[in-house]
C-alpha cells in the first residue's frame, strides 16, 4: 500500500527517515529517482539515514511505477520520496496508487517563486500539480508530520 509520496529535494534525511516514516507506519521507503538509482555513492550515503527496521528501495521513476503496478509493493506500507515536482507528477500520472502528494521541500532555483517556507515552485510545476489535483490527487504542503495540512491551491494565486 502506498502511504504517501513526498517531494523533498534532499530525498532521505532525519526528518523523512524517522518522523515521516513513523508517522505513516511505513516499513519501506522507495526513492524514485532516475539519477540516484545509478549512483552507488549517493545510494550508500542515503542508506546511512535509513531506519534499521525499514526496507530502502532505489528505483527509477519508470521502474517504480512498474513495480507498483505489478503488485510487488503490496506487501509493504510504502513511503515514496521523490526529488522534485516533475517526478511526483510522473509517479501520479503513471499509477493511481499515488493519490497523495506532500510538497515538503523544494529548492530555490532560477524561475521559481516561494509559496511556503522552503518551498519554491516554477510555473510549469504549478501547472503539473494543478493537473494532478484535477485528477483527484491530494496535494498538501507540509514540512513535518505534526505541521498543519496546507492545501497547495491556497498558496498559489
Find the CATH number of the domain harbouring 102.
Answer: 3.40.35.10
pLDDT in tens, 20-76: 999 999 999 999 999 999 999 999 999 999 999 999 999 999 999 999 999 999 999
Distance CA(49)–CA(65), nearest Å, equals: 24
pLDDT in tens, 94-126: 999 999 999 999 999 999 999 999 999 999 999
What pLDDT score was predicted for residue 17?
A: 87
Phi, psi of 88 (to 5 degrees): -65, -40
Nearest to 88 by CA among 154, 9, 13, 26: 9
Count of domains forming the chain: 1
The mean pLDDT value for 143-153 works out to: 94
Residue 77 confidence (pLDDT) above 80: yes
Distance CA(35)–CA(4), nearest Å, equals: 21
Residue 157 confidence (pLDDT) above 80: no
Give bridge partners of residue 56 from the DSSP assignment.
Answer: 29
Give the H or E element holding residue 41. Answer: helix 40-47
In this prediction, residue 15 has a pLDDT band, given cuts at 50, 70 and 90, of: confident
The CA R_g of the chain, rounded to the nearest whole Å, is: 15
* Alpha helices (H) along the chain: 14, 21-24, 40-47, 61-70, 85-94, 123-134
What is the extent of the structural domain holding 142?
A: 2-155
Distance CA(31)–CA(46), nearest Å, equals: 9
Amino acid at each position: 500500500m502506498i502511504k504517501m509520496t513526498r517531494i523533498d529535494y534532499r530525498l532521505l534525511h532525519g526528518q523523512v527517515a524517522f518522523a515521516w516514516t513513523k508517522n505513516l507506519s511505513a516499513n519501506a521507503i522507495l526513492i524514485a529517482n532516475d539519477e540516484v538509482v545509478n549512483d552507488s555513492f549517493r545510494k550508500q550515503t542515503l542508506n546511512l539515514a535509513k531506519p534499521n527496521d525499514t526496507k530502502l528501495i532505489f528505483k527509477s521513476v519508470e521502474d517504480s511505477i512498474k513495480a507498483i503496478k505489478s503488485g510487488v509493493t503490496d506487501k509493504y506500507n510504502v513511503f515514496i520520496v521523490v526529488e522534485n515536482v516533475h517526478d511526483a507528477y510522473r509517479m501520479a500520472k503513471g499509477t493511481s496508487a499515488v493519490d497523495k502528494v506532500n510538497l515538503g521541500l523544494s529548492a530555490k532555483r532560477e524561475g521559481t517563486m516561494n509559496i511556503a517556507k522552503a518551498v519554491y515552485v516554477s510555473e510549469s510545476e504549478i501547472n503539473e500539480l494543478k493537473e494532478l489535483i484535477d485528477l483527484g490527487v491530494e496535494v498538501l504542503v507540509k514540512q513535518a508530520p505534526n505541521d498543519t495540512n496546507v492545501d497547495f491551491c491556497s498558496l498559489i494565486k
